[in-house]
Amino acid sequence: MAFQLLVTAGDGIGPEVTREAVSVLQTVFARSGQSLEVTEKRIGGIAIDTDGTPLPADTLEAALASDAVFLGAVGGNKWNALPPSTRPESGLLQLRAALGGFANLRPAFSIAELAANSPLKLDIVSGTDILFVRELLGGLYFGSPREWNRAAGEAWNTMRYTRDEITRVARIAFDLARKRGKKLTSVDKANVLEVSQLWRSTVTDVAADYPDVTLEHQLVDSMAMLLMTSPRNYDVVLTENLFGDILSDESAVITGSLGMLPSATIGGRVNLYEPIHGSAPDIAGKGLANPLGAILTGALVLRHSAGMDAEAEAIESAVRSALQLGFRTADLVRASTTDFTVLSTTEMGKKIRELLPA
């Protein structure tokens, strides 16, 4: 049976990077003799413009019927005046909730060829290999009550977690730590928030089942600093939704470009795959966008949803080869250097396909 991939390319650079990722996937499937069926549906701002809602019913239906969902990016200046509940981003949040994936895996790694691009010193970033496990369906994003009471000039959101929600994401993080460096850092704000005290006590309880994994707790404010001063100290980092949103963007500076990073959301009915970068409306349609984060996200589809580990590695090694050979998109080059071959979005996609094993 064909692997059913639902593609929701979304807004801004979403469609252009997604096109390259999908074409890399098509190449890989064809070469391994497996069949891939790609369906495209609208989400985000483009769906607001054409369907009047950021998550049309047929998109949701197709997502639930698929083997994996690949999302490009959502949002843009055009829709910035809308309230949170009707913005492009709310389409993504509704999709996340419906698919049910609660563990968002976001790597932050240093790539030797790009290490000099990081604003951090080389000896600080070199060798960094962090995997964030961001809880994706709880906390301030989904907690109620939530409201902006305009008349009262008051607004509130709720950071709420249950022991079960924390336990299930902690288990995924510990399982991953066990297969990696056997260290788990749980991030909270337990010196101020009750919800963080529950988080810390629950994670500590789960740790009893993983005696081979070293658990440490960090407060989110000091973690924000430690990630920049000693990123190599971290292996798996487990956090609640908003802290994970913030720390994973911060940690992208380790890689040197947000455009390189993939993510996978697992644990629910259907896994959801998104590059970490946003819709970057300022460079959309100019051929400047870096498709490598999206292409590496395609590798995660193969690994986590298609059971095609070797093919996932082939994509990852093609990306490494392209960098080693000096191929770059504009975001990866500083104005002053001439040592690289700068490629457009589509040229980089083509290069990766050429570098895949035959």
**Piece of 58-66, 86-94, 116-124, 154-162 that binds ligand IPM (CB under 6 A):** 86-94
- Distance from chain centroid for Cα 326: 25
Question: Active-site residue 245, yes or no?
Answer: yes
> What number of chain residues touch Mn ion (CB under 5 A)?
1
Q: Of Mn ion, ligand IPM, none, which one sits near residue 343, judging by CB under 5 to 8 A according to partner kind?
A: none
- Report the SS3 class of residue 313: helix
Question: In the chain, how long is the greatest CA-to-CA distance?
Answer: 65
Point out which residues pair with 193 in neighbouring strands: none
State how far the Cα of 67 lies from the Cα of 147, in Å rounded to an integer. Answer: 35
CA distance 254 to 129: 10
113 forms part of the interface with ligand IPM (CB under 6 A): no
Cα 134 → chain centroid: 9
| Contact by Cβ (8 Å): 10, 76 | no
CA distance between the termini of the chain: 23
Q: Is 13 in the site for ligand IPM (CB under 6 A)?
A: no
Selected catalytic residue, list 58, 205, 209, 221: 221
CA nearest to 170, candidates 196, 202, 208: 202
Name the 3-class secondary structure at 159: coil
**Nearer of residues 20 and 245 to Mn ion, judged by Cβ:** 245
- 89 near ligand IPM (CB under 6 A): yes
Q: Convert residues 231-270 into a mask of x (bound to Mn ion by CB under 5 A) and - (unbound).
A: --------------x-------------------------
Report if residue 92 touches ligand IPM, rule: CB under 6 A: yes
Query: Which residues 236-295 are close enough to bind ligand IPM by CB under 6 A?
Result: 245
Nearest approach, Cβ of 90 to Mn ion (angstroms)?
Answer: 14
- From the list Mn ion, ligand IPM, none, partner contacted by residue 89 (C-beta under 5 to 8 A by kind): ligand IPM
Question: Which of the residues 41, 161, 188, 189 is marked catalytic?
Answer: 189
Are 134 and 145 a contacting pair, CB within 8 Å?
Answer: no
Coil, strand or helix: which one is 105? strand
Q: In this complex, which beta carbon is closest to ligand IPM, that of residue 74 or of residue 177? A: 74
Per CB under 6 A, residues contacting ligand IPM are 74-75, 89, 92-93, 245
- Indicate which residues carry an active-site annotation: 141, 189, 221, 245, 249
